[in-house]
Structure 1
Amino acid sequence: MAIRTIVWGENIHEQTNEIVRSIYPNGMHNTIAEALNRDPAIRATTATLQEPEHGLTEARLAETDVLVWWGHKDHGAVDDAVVERVARRVWEGMGLLVLHSGHFSKIFKRLMGTPCALKWREAGERERLWVINPRHPIAEGLGENFVLENEEMYGEQFSVPEPLETVFISWFAGGEVFRSGLTWRRGAGNIFYFRPGHETYPTYHDATVQKVLVNGVKWAFNPQGTYAAIHDAPNVPVDKALEPIEERGPKLHEAGEAGYR
């Protein structure tokens, strides 16, 4: 079965900015989804901020293996209930790719637990991305580095938790560097942050960037499926202990009573 993927796009700049509309006339989310769908192992659809429940209903997320997230102008407009819904699915094993300015999205900050702040400059400068983990699945098929002639600069410090792995580091023409390809695991879910993707440049038309996105979806996919039991916190009765024990001392809960949350 193909990896069931949703590409979520804020879909604001494409409607309000002529430059962005000229680069992505069908929206960035559709450009990314089309690139993913060229790989037969992936079946990508899209969702946007403007749809009811932002296109991320309980039923749809339940049938999603990997979610790709791009947002920028109006992170605050994303409903908190949807954020919690997505976080729950990541804990259960749904993969998540967060792109570019999605570093300030509610869902990324929710899962990182940190400010996720950074330095930035919008000057269309050259970005060279160095592959520092060449055996990682996300780097499959890439050379030791690749170049984007025009991109927005992101610079360190990037206030995120220590990653599980660092796959890419970027150097910019102005001299800054940035950890631009990072992975984490939250619960049973794999998370990949990929830095490039400023909307006024044709980054998502770049073949190498598209290759990274395909690789990222495949890496984030958890073939074991949903791990719903991750939310359980069972009260284990004394007579169900793995080794015989004698109950001693006072306690707050009755046998079988749920714990406090």
Structure 2
Amino acid sequence: MNVLVWNENRHEQTNQVVADLYPEGIHGTIASFLKSDDVTVRTVTLDDEEHGLTEEVLNETDVLVWWGHQAHDEVEDEIVERVKQQVLEGMGVVVLHSSHFSKIFKSLMGTSCDLKWREADEKERLWVVDPSHPIVEGIGEYIELEKEEMYGEHFDVPPPDELIFMSWFEGGEVFRSGMTYRRGKGKIFYFRPGHETYPTYYNPEVQKVIRNGVKWVKSTDNTTPKYGNAKPLETISEKE
């Protein structure tokens, strides 16, 4: 399986807290726990040529993991359409944290993807609401994070195909923190935790969920449907 981790890589250059927390970049940290004997991981960033998302690179990608926050508008629309087409053709995508506002996620959802938010060092408890799902294999009833950014409802996204996590925050809000969608032949997993100033991506349970999510959204060799004018499979009798 070939995994591509995309990160805008801007906070790491401008915020010393983030630079100290993720010295290899958020993309480097995510890549480090995704790599295995059967998973090859490559990282690219916003400032790479074509944002690192060339046709050649995407054609070799089974799963795209996306992290963005402050530079969503800098992603070129042509590249967004290219990524979207790859998803429709079967490439899986894992959308993390503030990437809910990325152009690619909003394009795939068709909504504003807006929400409430607050930075107040709040405890977050992510409750597993679909214990049968492969994405939560190896996870208990909930994941507890000591400090995280709050995201609160209403989250303006379409009803998910599957709701996997529901978060509760210390300030009282709740949030749909783990959801799956299908678009064309592609599968999408949105997973909420991961604010850049917290060590969330070092949490073993968060890492396990992302690894499970990557496996679940992996592209398949399923037949691509044919569209347009179709010849009949059977002989059609002429009407008198």
CA change 1:41–1:167 in 2 (3 A) is farther
**Superposition deviation, residue 130 in structure 1:** 0.6
1:212 paired to 2:209: yes
What pairs with 1:156-235 in structure 2 (closer than 5 Å)?
156-224=153-221, 229-230=224-225, 233-235=227-229
Q: Of 87, 91, 94, which aligns to 2:88?
A: 91
SS of equivalent residue, structure 1 residue 59: helix
Name the aligned partner's letter for residue 101 of structure 1.
Answer: S
Larger Rg: 1
1:47 paired to 2:41: no
- Which residue of structure 2 lines up, in the alignment, with residue 141 of structure 1? 138
SS of equivalent residue, structure 1 residue 159: coil
**Superposition deviation, residue 132 in structure 1:** 1.0
What pairs with 1:59-78 in structure 2 (closer than 5 Å)?
59-78=56-75
Which residues of structure 2 form unaligned runs of 5+?
A: none
1:25 paired to 2:23: yes
Q: Of 3, 9, 12, which aligns to 2:10?
A: 12
**Superposition deviation, residue 235 in structure 1:** 2.4
Which residues of structure 1 form unaligned runs of 5+?
A: 248-261
TM-score (norm 2): 0.96
SS of equivalent residue, structure 1 residue 72: coil
**Superposition deviation, residue 234 in structure 1:** 3.1
Runs of at least 4 residues off by over 6 Å:
none
1:242 paired to 2:218: no
Find the aligned partners of 1:114 and 1:245 in 2 and give their Cα distance.
Answer: 46
Q: Identity over aligned residues, as a percent?
A: 59
- Which residue of structure 2 lines up, in the alignment, with residue 155 of structure 1? 152
Find the aligned partners of 2:92 and 2:32 in 1 and give their Cα distance.
Answer: 19
Name the aligned partner's letter for residue 23 of structure 1.
Answer: L
SS of equivalent residue, structure 2 residue 88: helix
Find the aligned partners of 2:63 and 2:182 in 1 and give their Cα distance.
Answer: 13
SS of equivalent residue, structure 2 residue 20: helix
What pairs with 1:111-122 in structure 2 (closer than 5 Å)?
111-122=108-119
Find the aligned partners of 1:91 and 1:192 in 2 and give their Cα distance.
Answer: 14
**Superposition deviation, residue 79 in structure 1:** 0.6
Q: Of 32, 35, 42, which aligns to 2:33?
A: 35
CA contact (8 A) 2:68 2:102 kept: yes
CA contact (8 A) 2:130 2:163 kept: yes
**Superposition deviation, residue 245 in structure 1:** 5.2
- What per-residue deviation string (whole Å, max 9, x for no partner) do you get for residues 131-179 of structure 1? 1111100000001011111100000000100000011110000010001
Find the aligned partners of 2:237 and 2:217 in 1 and give their Cα distance.
Answer: 42
TM-score (norm 1): 0.88
CA contact (8 A) 2:21 2:197 kept: yes
CA contact (8 A) 2:90 2:220 kept: no
SS of equivalent residue, structure 1 residue 67: strand
SS of equivalent residue, structure 1 residue 244: coil
**Superposition deviation, residue 43 in structure 1:** 1.4
- What per-residue deviation string (whole Å, max 9, x for no partner) do you get for residues 29-82 of structure 1? 010001101x33321111100000000100110110000000000100001111
Find the aligned partners of 2:128 and 2:22 in 1 and give their Cα distance.
Answer: 27
Find the aligned partners of 1:109 and 1:242 in 2 and give their Cα distance.
Answer: 42
CA change 1:241–1:66 in 2 (3 A) is same
Find the aligned partners of 2:47 and 2:33 in 1 and give their Cα distance.
Answer: 23
- What per-residue deviation string (whole Å, max 9, x for no partner) do you get for residues 231-259 of structure 1? x533235xx55331559xxxxxxxxxxxx
1:102 paired to 2:99: yes
